Every structure is written in structure tokens, then in C-alpha cells.
Amino acid sequence: MKKLWITTLFAVLGAPAWAAPRTVTLSIPTMDCPVCPITVKKALVQVDGVTRAEVNFDKRQAVVTFDDAKASVAALTRATQDAGYPSTAAGGAK
């Protein structure tokens, strides 16, 4: 019985924390042509943990859904910056 309890304890404590999907809207004011969203989306979906990225040229925004155990808002803004399109979080992440 003691062995079962110890095994269960290690299984619970050793399990990774459950990640929560988060969605953030990024403001990307430097997108200046209709082709820019293709580059931005490509950069965002390459970030580990991103499950969805929708980029809107007219609004100069990207709505990104990601696994918060694998990615962060900082990683997303770094990805757009590295692609040549600096971004900031517009409002709070959900």
C-alpha cells in the first residue's frame, strides 16, 4: 500500500502543469501592404505552442491563440519583430 501511495504521489507531483490556451490580440501598425500579413502569420505560427494566428491587414492586428506552457506574449512579439513587424499586445491576453 505504501508503495502505491508513493508512486501516486510522484505521478501527481511529476506531472507537467496543465497549460491553458490563451488568446492575445497584437497591434502591428507597421504592416503597410496587403502581403505583409502573410509574413507576420508565417512568423507567428513558427512559434512553438501557437495553435492559430489570424492576421488582419485592415485592422493592423493579429489574433493569436497559443499554449501558455510553451509560448508567451513576449515570444510572439519577438517573432513579429524578427520578421520586421514590431508588435505590442492590444489590451490584455485572455
Considering its fold, how many domains does the chain have in total?
1
The CATH number of whichever domain residue 56 belongs to comes to 3.30.70.100
Q: Which residues pair with 54 in a beta bridge?
A: 63
39: domain range? 19-89
Of residues 74, 85, 92, the one with CA closest to residue 29? 85
User: In the prediction, which pLDDT does 9 show?
Assistant: 43
Structural domain contains residue 9: no
Per-residue pLDDT of the chain (94 residues; tens, 9 = 90+): 555 444 444 444 444 556 689 999 999 999 999 999 999 999 999 999 999 999 999 999 999 999 999 999 999 999 999 999 999 998 755 5
Buried b / exposed e over 35-69, threshold 16 CB at 10 Å, is: ebbebbbebbeebebbeebebebeebbbbbbbeee
pLDDT for the residue 15: 45
The number of residues in the chain equals 94
Give the predicted TM-score (pTM) of the model.
Answer: 0.77
Question: For position 20, what pLDDT does the model report?
Answer: 81
